[in-house]
Structure 1
Amino acid sequence: MQSFSDTTATRLDPLPGVIRAGGIQFIRVSGEDAVKFLHGQFTQAVQGLGDRTTLAGYCSPKGRLLALMRVWMEGPDVMLAMPAVMVEGFLKRLRMYVLRAKVIFTPVDPMPEVLLFVGEAGAEAAARLGLKLPAAGEVAREDGWTLLGLSEARAIAGFCAGGARTLAVVPAGAALPFEPAPDAWRTAAVIAAGMPQILPATREAFVPQHVNLELVGGVSFRKGCYPGQEVVSRVEHIGETNRRAAIGLLKADRTVEAGAPVYSAGDQAGTVVLSSRIGGETLILFSATLGSLIAGVSLEPAGEPLELIELPYRYRNILKDPA
């Protein structure tokens, strides 16, 4: 599976504000040691999360990302959301380290319907349901809905209207007064927000900085140890990483799989992270060397250069060059 679910769609005008978020699996982590255990495994803090939500990574001892997930609290339990295709391998590995900790991992079954609200149109649709969307990083609960405030997406013509994003868990039996757009638009909104994801083809392909994870709030350099922490911290302390994630637009309808190479000056310069094909064009999130982003990046050694789209945040070393 290339992305969370379907990644291809025809153009919609106007751009959708409510999108189906398919291919996601929730995992409930319960037990008296759940918070402490996960806090020691992930790149971002789980202790003290309260009514906030965060992106977090799970790394190998070499600092390579094995998975990315969204994290929030539901009562005493920790909730994780990640691509369904990643769950089996993720849980198999994580359970190896539980030892005597009192932790239980339960994939949510059946999965509730999940939507993504985007921009002004999304806020208007939510208002029709009597919902007020939370700010980025906040969790709200209204009339059985769970609303997770995400970071903003950049407006990209044909793909994303831009603006605030909210992941919404729909209560059972809720009637929707509109038809959400297909999942390809959700993938496009993820790319437009410059948000990374790890899929089977890119497992262990990146350290967090290579996909801008620390720039989107997915890494804490104060929380203490976790697998791969020494590598991740070393990359940050020595200075700017030599690879970053970027957004590229190809004005052609082409299937681009996660894990595919990208090129610059005829040589491989990086790797595709996510892609979305809409209306005969392809939007791509990829990780590549900083030099190649200046020289130009293509999907083939002598292919058409991708049009680079500005990220909704800037490259920086968050320890030496804070926002």
Structure 2
Amino acid sequence: MVTPMVLASTAQITHLASVDVKGEDAEKFLQGQTSAHAALANGHFAPLTCFCTPKGRMLANTQLLRLSDNHFRLVLSSSLVEPLIAHLKKFAAFYRAELSAPEDVVLFGAATDDASVIADALNLPLPTVTWQQQSDAQGNSALCYPEDVENETSVRWLFALTDSAAENFQADAEPRRWQLSDVRRGLAWLEADQQDQYLPQMLNWEALGGISFKKGCYTGQEVVARAHFRGQVKKRLARGVIEGNQPLEHGASITNVGEKTVGEVVTSAVNDNGQVELLAVINTKTLEEGKLTLEDQPLTLRELPYRIERLDPEQLAQTIPTA
């Protein structure tokens, strides 16, 4: 029996899960559905992307990894695995592509020291640049995540491991710390009850490199492009904090001084100081005014760690080492 290595700064990530897309037409199929060039997922760069309705509203936002020529893996909210598969199967029927939710994949989120331990144990190269991916022939992957902005030395890695590899490790950290780091990075993962509510730009997806404006058509592309080029996005993802010790409900209302609803909570996580840090979609004019209220408390806005401007995934891909 394997005695697992105890990893104090590693968490088993259960709020995220995987969808596999396999087949000769897997890339062609994804190209017609996702907001990023499927070809950019080359086994070294794992772009952010999303799936939209014909009206440009997000059904899911995901990370796109390539494990082999005809095998892609999406990482997304676990609550969206089945809904997304059901949606995409309507289109996959016209391609040589199959979708599945792999039951033998375990996700770990690790900080620097533990990430090196996992990588060394599996003889898996550790990626060093944000959104760089490394994988092995057994189906294990490591993905470099952006660091926690409250702790600049804390680079993070997301490992997608097979069951046999995962049993070598015992993850002892709290998953909320991973979620908190995502909140601090301005990275919001939609859940099932949030489908069909937001344009990608409302979650700052183009500022994170999750939308290609250089590729051809995909479902919802016309609306997403029009919103970008005509400047029609009036709501944006913002970062904030209130006092509290429980995560907030999705859609919790944010009001201004006139008690008018001007925004809503998308995701949140509790920190170690008795506060709830959150990401919310808020009217852009209101962001300039300030003095917002949430749960009958003052909402303190915090700076996002990126600029609200277009970042092309094609540009990001050029920064990723391929060796």
TM-score scaled by structure 1? 0.83
Alignment correspondent of 1:316: 309
Does the 8 A contact of 2:92 with 2:98 survive in 1? no
Alignment correspondent of 1:7: none
CA distance in 2, matches of 1:146, 1:238: 39
Does the 8 A contact of 2:253 with 2:294 survive in 1? yes
Does the 8 A contact of 2:64 with 2:72 survive in 1? yes
Alignment correspondent of 1:108: 102
Q: CA deviation at 1:277?
A: 2.1
Q: 5 Å matches for 1:236-275? A: 236-239=228-231, 241-265=233-257, 266-275=259-268
CA RMSD of aligned residues (A): 2.6
Alignment correspondent of 2:216: 224
Residue 30 of structure 2 aligns to a residue in which SS?
Answer: helix
Q: Which segment is superposed worse, 23-32 or 183-192?
A: 23-32
Deviation per residue, 1:139-195 (Å, 9 max, x gap): 113695410122333116xxxx66432211234344657643121111111111111
Q: 5 Å matches for 1:161-240? A: 163-174=154-165, 179-239=171-231
Alignment correspondent of 2:148: 153
Q: Which segment is superposed worse, 34-43 or 74-83?
A: 74-83
Does the 8 A contact of 2:12 with 2:171 survive in 1? no
- Residue number among 9, 21, 26 corresponding to 2:18 in the alignment: 26
CA distance in 2, matches of 1:121, 1:264: 44
CA distance in 2, matches of 1:163, 1:207: 31
Does the 8 A contact of 1:123 with 1:132 survive in 2? no
Residue 225 of structure 2 aligns to a residue in which SS?
Answer: helix
1:305 aligns to 2:298 (yes or no)? yes
Alignment correspondent of 1:71: 64
CA distance in 1, matches of 2:232, 2:156: 29
Alignment correspondent of 1:46: 38
Deviation per residue, 1:234-281 (Å, 9 max, x gap): 111123732211111112224411222222221111121111124432
Does the 8 A contact of 1:201 with 1:259 survive in 2? no
Aligned residues: 298
Percent identical among aligned pairs is: 26
Q: CA deviation at 1:36?
A: 0.4
CA distance in 2, matches of 1:153, 1:240: 31
Residue 38 of structure 2 aligns to a residue in which SS?
Answer: coil
Q: 5 Å matches for 1:116-155? A: 116-118=109-111, 120-121=112-113, 126=118, 129=121, 133-134=126-127, 135-141=129-135, 145-155=140-150
Deviation per residue, 1:26-50 (Å, 9 max, x gap): 1211111111011110111112421
Q: Which stretches in structure 1 are left out of the alignment for 5+ residues? A: 1-15
Q: Which segment is superposed worse, 167-176 or 33-42?
A: 167-176
Residue 153 of structure 1 aligns to a residue in which SS?
Answer: coil
CA distance in 2, matches of 1:50, 1:150: 17
CA distance in 1, matches of 2:196, 2:132: 29
Matching residue's letter, 1:93: H
CA distance in 2, matches of 1:317, 1:32: 32
Does the 8 A contact of 2:56 with 2:223 survive in 1? yes
Alignment correspondent of 2:287: 293
TM-score scaled by structure 2? 0.83
CA distance in 2, matches of 1:18, 1:310: 27
Matching residue's letter, 2:149: R
**1:45/1:310 Cα in 2 relative to 1: closer, same or farther (>3 Å)?**
same
